[in-house]
């Protein structure tokens, strides 16, 4: 709750009853006014542009009454009110000394030994709290299994329907992951695949992948997932300069394995937000193109860091492995969690279907569920 406010022309300072103080600029308060002329009451969207705010905006009065802050702006002569909780939630006057390479709040990094988050097909379809828990696991851990599903082809599309939409690519709405003659992609062979993120040659990359098992009686073919954020954290702990190189220079990725397709990107292996938060990993030996954006004097150190990140990713202590049964699937956050598979051969067959979807849709569905069902999910 607000206790009182003081102001000068350009800044309002409020004190909460916890003793915490927070400063807000006149321009910021005016831009974020909550009145119906500034924000549409129906959809919450802003009705004004930055140019609609006078450049000489100032505060002529600021006072607290009934726990709310009332501010009058000049030269408009406009008075607006801000609830105490809203100000507390949106305060930006805080210590900014955040470490580079940190993960966002709500993300838990992991190594081998954690129980793979998992939910049951029928339960997530019938029980919103279970669905919410499954989506929350993808948000927190970057992957989750779904078991007990149907074994019909295209069932994976129903997984995407639970939270969003399939993202179509040149591989179609979904793709068959099984051994093919003349494969257009090494995924369509029995070869083992090093842990990787998919399609780093796209910009933006597909942010979620669903891999759905229809048959898996072959020897081998186990799935392995590795937390790329944990790998990046380890690299930063072991070799902070190498971490900075992989984050600081673009790599290059390319795919031109089928007719009419030539996908290229120029993006870093470790992607940070402008203020240093870890936001993405791209790691894929099959589709790395020659790196030409690293200065000559740094190239050997860049490669040493790339090798070191690869060793961390390949370390068996990092991966969570499981063998999918028919009707089982898993979803990975393709901006964070790498997936691998052991090679397979011999009698029996292995048939997975894969598709892409987008994380913003999953996070939107989760956030909307959290707003309407505030109780904790089981
Ligand atoms: Fe893949």
Q: How far is the CA of 330 from the centre of ligand 1 (A)?
A: 12
Q: How far is the CA of 292 from the centre of ligand 1 (A)?
A: 25
How confident is the model at residue 136, as a pLDDT? 98
Answer for the pair 142, 337: CB distance below 8 angstroms, yes or no.
yes
Q: How far is the CA of 209 from the centre of ligand 1 (A)?
A: 8
How many Å apart are CA 160 and CA 163, to the nearest integer?
A: 6
CA nearest 337: which of 232, 228, 235?
Answer: 228
The domain that holds 64 is classified in CATH as 3.30.2020.30
Q: To 10 degrees, the CA torsion angle through 226, 230, 231, 232?
A: 140
Name the residue range of residue 170's domain: 118-372
How confident is the model at residue 378, as a pLDDT? 47
Judge if 84 and 196 occupy the same domain.
Answer: no
Q: How far is the CA of 339 from the centre of ligand 1 (A)?
A: 6
Judge if 173 and 77 occupy the same domain.
Answer: no
Q: How far is the CA of 165 from the centre of ligand 1 (A)?
A: 19
Q: How far is the CA of 30 from the centre of ligand 1 (A)?
A: 48
Judge if 204 and 345 occupy the same domain.
Answer: yes
Per residue of the chain (378 residues), give pLDDT as tens.
999 999 999 999 999 999 999 999 999 999 999 999 999 999 999 999 999 999 999 999 999 999 899 999 999 999 999 999 999 999 999 988 889 999 999 999 999 999 999 999 999 999 999 999 999 999 999 999 999 999 999 999 999 999 999 999 999 999 999 887 777 888 888 888 899 999 999 999 999 999 999 999 888 889 999 999 999 999 999 999 999 999 999 999 999 998 999 999 999 999 999 999 999 999 999 999 999 999 999 999 999 999 999 999 999 999 999 999 999 999 999 999 999 998 888 777 889 999 999 999 999 999 999 998 766 544
Q: How far is the CA of 215 from the centre of ligand 1 (A)?
A: 18
| In a domain? residue 285 | yes
Q: How far is the CA of 186 from the centre of ligand 1 (A)?
A: 9
How confident is the model at residue 375, as a pLDDT? 61
How confident is the model at residue 32, as a pLDDT? 98
Judge if 37 and 164 occupy the same domain.
Answer: no
CB atoms within 10 A of CB 172: 10
Residues around ion ligand 1, judged by CB within 5 A, are 198
Judge if 240 and 291 occupy the same domain.
Answer: yes
Q: How far is the CA of 223 from the centre of ligand 1 (A)?
A: 10
The domain that holds 133 is classified in CATH as 3.60.130.10
| In a domain? residue 103 | no
How many Å apart are CA 89 and CA 237, to the nearest integer?
A: 33
Q: How far is the CA of 197 from the centre of ligand 1 (A)?
A: 6
How confident is the model at residue 374, as a pLDDT? 61
Judge if 175 and 258 occupy the same domain.
Answer: yes
Judge if 170 and 298 occupy the same domain.
Answer: yes
| In a domain? residue 113 | no
Q: How far is the CA of 177 from the centre of ligand 1 (A)?
A: 9
Answer for the pair 284, 252: CB distance below 8 angstroms, yes or no.
no
Q: How far is the CA of 217 from the centre of ligand 1 (A)?
A: 20
Structural domains in the chain (count): 2
Judge if 52 and 149 occupy the same domain.
Answer: no
Which alpha helices (H) appear in the chain, and where do they start and end? 26-31, 84-89, 121-126, 128-141, 155-161, 228-238, 240-248, 299-314, 359-372
Judge if 6 and 136 occupy the same domain.
Answer: no
Q: How far is the CA of 184 from the centre of ligand 1 (A)?
A: 13
Q: How far is the CA of 32 from the centre of ligand 1 (A)?
A: 43
Q: How far is the CA of 185 from the centre of ligand 1 (A)?
A: 10
């Amino acid at each position: 709750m607000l206790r009182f406010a003081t102001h000068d022309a350009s800044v309002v300072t409020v004190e909460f009853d916890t003793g915490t103080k927070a400063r807000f600029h006149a321009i910021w308060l005016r831009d974020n006014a909550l009145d119906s002329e500034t924000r549409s009451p129906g959809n919450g969207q802003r009705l004004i542009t930055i140019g609609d705010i006078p450049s000489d905006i100032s505060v002529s009065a600021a006072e607290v009454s009934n726990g709310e802050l009332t501010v009058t702006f000049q030269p408009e002569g406009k008075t607006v009110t801000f609830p105490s909780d809203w100000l507390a939630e949106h305060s930006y006057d805080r210590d900014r000394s955040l470490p580079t390479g940190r993960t966002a709040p709500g993300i838990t990094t992991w190594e081998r030994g954690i129980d793979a988050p998992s939910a049951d097909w029928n339960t997530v379809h019938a029980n919103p709290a279970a669905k919410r828990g499954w989506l929350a696991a993808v948000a927190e851990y970057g992957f989750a299994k779904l078991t007990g599903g149907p074994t019909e082809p295209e069932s994976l599309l129903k997984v995407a329907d639970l939270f969003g939409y399939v993202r179509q690519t040149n591989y179609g709405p979904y793709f068959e992951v099984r051994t093919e003659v003349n494969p257009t992609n090494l995924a369509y062979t029995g070869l083992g695949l090093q842990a990787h993120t998919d399609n780093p040659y796209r910009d933006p990359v597909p942010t979620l992948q669903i891999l759905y098992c229809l048959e898996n009686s072959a020897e081998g073919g186990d799935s392995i997932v590795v937390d790329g954020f944990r790998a990046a954290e380890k690299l930063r702990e072991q070799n902070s300069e190498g971490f900075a190189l992989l984050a600081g220079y673009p790599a290059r990725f390319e795919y031109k394995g089928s007719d009419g397709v030539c996908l290229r990107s120029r993006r870093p292996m470790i992607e940070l937000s402008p203020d240093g938060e870890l936001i993405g990993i791209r790691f894929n030996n099959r589709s790395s193109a020659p790196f030409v954006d690293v200065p000559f004097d740094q190239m050997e150190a860049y490669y040493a860091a790339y090798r070191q990140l690869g060793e961390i990713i390949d370390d068996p202590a990092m991966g969570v492995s499981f063998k999918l049964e028919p009707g089982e699937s898993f979803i990975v956050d393709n901006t964070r969690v790498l997936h691998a598979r052991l090679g397979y051969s011999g009698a029996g067959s292995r048939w997975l279907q894969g598709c892409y979807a987008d994380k913003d849709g999953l996070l939107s569905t989760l956030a909307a569920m959290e707003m309407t069902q505030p109780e904790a999910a089981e």
